[in-house]
Amino acid sequence: YFSDMRLLSKAVQLAVSQREWSRRHFWGWLNAIFNKVDYERIKAVGPDQAAAEWLLRCGAKVKFQGFDRWHHDYNGLPTGPLGRYKIQGIDATESCIMHRGFDHLDGLTCVEEIKFNKCIYIEDTCLERLSSIENLQNSLYLMEVVSCGNVTDKGIIALHKLRNLEYLFLSDLPGIEDKQTTADRLQTALPRLDLALDLD
């Protein structure tokens, strides 16, 4: 009886862990689909509209120039002539945005603020890609990277290319190993930067 119970218990554990794996696999696959870049769509509706659709599809929020509120409802996005609405802020808190979707950011010219908070797919390659986008180097002045476990010193140091960055808040980033050197390198590259650290 006990050996049967042990066998049953093992079978249940195996089934649960397989289901857990397949659920994770399914969500990973779905999130990859959400992040796929449709270049025809960018041409058709303009970079800001296409980027807003991508961000909201992935669970992020956007703020447009001239609006006080953050948009999070995909069906509630403002519509109008091509290029009328410009994204000013991106709040990617708990969203599933990932590196493969970052081509959506290339055509954005007015983004002043980006928040990455509890983003499980944000990693160094994302921050390096973001920092290499010339438009964002010019427009971005406020940024937060909080509780993104895959971000290391390398990704944070890449942010030095955002030459107009005025405020950067870094918190709960276990991947950062040498916070003092990383902070010093950023401050040297960006002397006007107000760097707020809450790192253990």
Reported as a single tens digit per residue, the pLDDT across 175-189 is 999 999 999 999 999
Domain ranges, ordered by start, for the chain: 1-34, 39-198
Euclidean distance between CA atoms 163 and 147, whole angstroms: 24
Class of domain 39-198: alpha beta
Task: Determine the pLDDT at residue 80.
Answer: 84
- State how far the Cα of 110 lies from the Cα of 88, in Å rounded to an integer: 5
Instruction: Quick: pLDDT tens for 15-32.
Output: 545 555 555 565 666 677
Assess whether pLDDT exceeds 60 at residue 155.
yes
Residue 29 has, within 13 A of its CA and on its CB side, a CA count of 6
pTM: 0.86
Query: 166: buried, middle or exposed (CB in 10 Å: 19+, 13-18, 0-12)?
Result: middle
- 2 pLDDT band, cuts 50/70/90, is very low
